[in-house]
Amino acid sequence: MKIIGLLLLFCALPAFAGKTQNVVLIVSDGLRWQEIFTGADPSLLNEKAGGSWVSEADLHKRYWRTDVDARRELLFPFLWGTVAKKGQLFGNQLKGSVAHVTNGKAFSYPGYNEMSTGYPNDAIDSNEFGPNPNATVFEWLNKFDEFRGHVAIYGTWSTYDDIFNKKRSGLVMQTGWNLPHKAHESPRDALLHELYDTTTRFDEEDVGNSFLQIPLLDYVKSGHPRVLFVGYGETDNWAHQGRYDLVLDSAHRFDYFVRQLWDTMQAIPQYHDSTTFIITTDHGRGSGLTEWKEHGVEEKGSENIWIAVMGPDTVPLGERTHVAVVTQAQIAATVAAFVGKDYHAAVPKAALPITQVLSDTHH
Ligand SMILES: [Zn+2]
């Protein structure tokens, strides 16, 4: 009786204790599930619909293969060569896996809010909404002694300052064109500042992905983050510009940046075999010859996303097929669960974690 009672108690305990000590949530803004699972869209590999400045022949050489598995791996060699072998991917609607947002808006601020607080907020109806009234899971985790000062937000978009409420949250943050000065700067830091100061800006809010990657890698080596958010914006920006060639180039480099971050962290004892990556997008986009450029309630299908997870606690089931729907709101509690915290218990309106990626020795 006693033993059974104890077992039941363990099974009822929601806190998850796995091998993961560090968790990284990575987003490529507005990168469609269609490209993730089927690679380059052949109807957009041209100037007319895809707005490409690269010749059709070169684009095909770069991103086209007739076999869908070869095509998607050509575009995302790390996702399909490594994450799909060591982790799990949700969202291939062609194979019975749906991942979607629940915010009913399908644009950026509502999406980042949903994934980081664990529930949608109807009041957020614009990217210019201002400081987030609700605390994200990152702000919540930063209050625990073991994480304080080691929860960081690195993103190319300055609006993350509002989404993660920089003023109130006290998180380590680097966003947009704001490159903080360090107490002691190396020649590498000085060069980076010169590039930030002298590069013509795509717009005032978005720095290029490569400009984020260098300080991000430097921070990981020196700042010892336990919980990290990384936001890359180029895939959304080039789609809005109607440049499918640059969407593909950005997506391909995003895959490289994730690999580079993974390899960098695996080479550091603190992170080796004890770090989980959750990789996703804030929203989908429309489809067809025109609507791929935009997203929102007007563009059908913008609610559909994808979620990939890889780490020591995730069973390597690869591309998931014919599984239950997963939602963007579940990401917040999943982030917390990997580092042993029950976010849903603290914030009951937050969705439950994605249990399929959390192996549990009790079950
Ligand atoms: Zn957008």
Rounded to whole angstroms, the Cα distance separating 163 from 166 reads 8
Rounded to whole angstroms, the Cα distance separating 70 from 75 reads 9
Question: In this structure, is the dihedral angle defined by the CA atoms of residues 338, 152, 113 and 132, taken in order, positive or negative?
Answer: positive
Is residue 8 scored above 80 in pLDDT?
no
Q: Which amino acid is at 129?
A: F
Residue 135: what pLDDT? 98
Q: What is the mean pLDDT of residues 279-291?
A: 98
Rounded to whole angstroms, the Cα distance separating 303 from 286 reads 9
* Percent of the chain whose pLDDT exceeds 90: 93
pLDDT per residue as tens digits for the range 308-359: 999 999 999 999 999 999 999 999 999 999 999 999 999 999 999 999 999 8
Residue 359: what pLDDT? 82
Residue 15: what pLDDT? 64
pLDDT per residue as tens digits for the range 55-99: 999 999 999 999 999 999 999 999 999 999 999 999 999 999 999
Residue 3: what pLDDT? 52
> What's the 328 CA to ligand 1 centre distance in angstroms?
17
| Non-local CB neighbours of 163 within 8 Å, separated by 6+ positions | 109, 112, 113, 116, 132, 136
Rounded to whole angstroms, the Cα distance separating 42 from 330 reads 33
Band the pLDDT of 363: cuts 50, 70, 90: very low
Residue 17: what pLDDT? 77
> What's the 19 CA to ligand 1 centre distance in angstroms?
36
> What's the 298 CA to ligand 1 centre distance in angstroms?
13
Residue 1: what pLDDT? 44
Is residue 362 scored above 90 in pLDDT?
no
Rounded to whole angstroms, the Cα distance separating 314 from 198 reads 43
Rounded to whole angstroms, the Cα distance separating 263 from 129 reads 36
Q: What is the mean pLDDT of residues 25-39?
A: 98
* Beta-carbon count within 10 A of 270 CB: 13
> What's the 187 CA to ligand 1 centre distance in angstroms?
35
Is residue 14 scored above 90 in pLDDT?
no
> What's the 305 CA to ligand 1 centre distance in angstroms?
14
Q: Enter the tokens of residue 239.
A: 């789609």
Is residue 10 scored above 80 in pLDDT?
no
